[in-house]
Structure 1
Amino acid sequence: MTRLVQKVSSGRTFARLAPHVVPALDRAVHRLTRGRVLPSARMLPGLILTARGAKSGLLRRTPLACMPEEDGGWILVGSNFGRPGHPAWTANLLRHPDAEISWQGRDIRVRARLLEGPERERAWSAVVAFWPPYARYQARVDRRIRLFRLVPVPAPVSGPEA
């Protein structure tokens, strides 16, 4: 079943339709289930990224596939389903790296960092091994797909100082 899903998700038809259908469905179901269900996570682990818009400064909620890391972080892949332009959420993180994610029903403050150089190459190898269609997405576009590492940041201390 996984191979079939990978084959379908790496096709051009999926790339045309999915950006309009998958995020809308994810947002609606995630909201209705109070963060407990994310339909696209049946294919890949997923989270909801809440980040400030690069131009507007408004909070933007974006359902995204992710690759969880053993140390408690996450890798986000700006594949845009193999379409030409970088997805908007990547510009948001470049401008405003402090964000929040909803992960498995929990809200977690994170800081994003664009991966470059050897660190990016290691991460790219890992994400392609994790989900092979990413290699097909990269082959279809002239741009270099952006990879971000999200790491949890401690919540600010509230109340009187000790």
Structure 2
Amino acid sequence: MSEAPATDSWNDRIIAEFRANGGYVSWSSEEDFAAGRPIPPRVPGFDEQGMPLILVHHIGAKTGRQRISPLFYQPVGDGWAIFGTYGGSPRHPVWYHNLMANPQATVEVGTERVPVVARLARGAERERLWAKEVALVPKFAEFEAASGRQVPVVVLERHPRND
């Protein structure tokens, strides 16, 4: 079996749980880790409900196909920041490339569906958002160190559009 179907199946389970629980996905148990469900890890400061995730709907840069990625997020003003850790991989995640090529997207946060425009955070803004996220999820600093690259921080800003 190829990696893509396994990833798609995992994402499908996370997306279904997200939608069934108003934007939350339960913590991974030891059995989940053993079965290949590595996220979400337990993060200090979050209750038993789990950590809230955001579903980012994006268009494939090469395929033009609609994709959905469940991601950790940080509220930023009236929008959200997401982090391209890709588990410490030396490559950026596919969703990052897709959003840079096609910045108009939609997110599901909680029970709300919102049109957004993605932009790369740079300089002091990136450093501030990254430092706050690493303080919350120290594992992200390990991912960045292991990757040998600067993890991109993408800001998703609300964008009214008439689709």
Q: TM-score scaled by structure 2?
A: 0.74
Contact 2:53 2:73 in 1 (8 A): yes
Computed over aligned residues only, the root mean square deviation of the Cα atoms, in angstroms, reads 2.3
Alignment of 1:39 with 2:45, yes or no, is no
- Give the corresponding residue for 2:124: 118
1:59 to 66, 81, 88: 66
- Give the corresponding residue for 1:142: 148
Q: Which runs of 5+ in 2 are unaligned?
A: 1-5, 27-39, 41-48
The amino acid across from 1:52 in the alignment is I
2:136 to 127, 130, 133: 130
Contact 2:23 2:54 in 1 (8 A): no
- Give the corresponding residue for 1:26: 14
2:149 match: secondary structure: coil
Gap change, CA 1:22 and 1:139, over 3 Å in 2: farther
Q: Distance in 2 between matches of 1:153 and 1:37?
A: 21
Identify the structure with the greater helix proportion: 1
Contact 1:25 1:39 in 2 (8 A): no
| 1:36-75 C-alpha deviation (Å, 9 max, x unpaired) | 3541575432111001111111111111111112x22111
- Give the corresponding residue for 2:98: 92
My pick for the range that moved more, 19-28 or 101-110, is 19-28
Q: Which runs of 5+ in 1 are unaligned?
A: 1-18
Alpha-carbon deviation of 1:22? 5.3
Contact 2:23 2:53 in 1 (8 A): no
2:51 match: secondary structure: coil
Gap change, CA 1:25 and 1:97, over 3 Å in 2: same
Q: TM-score scaled by structure 1?
A: 0.74
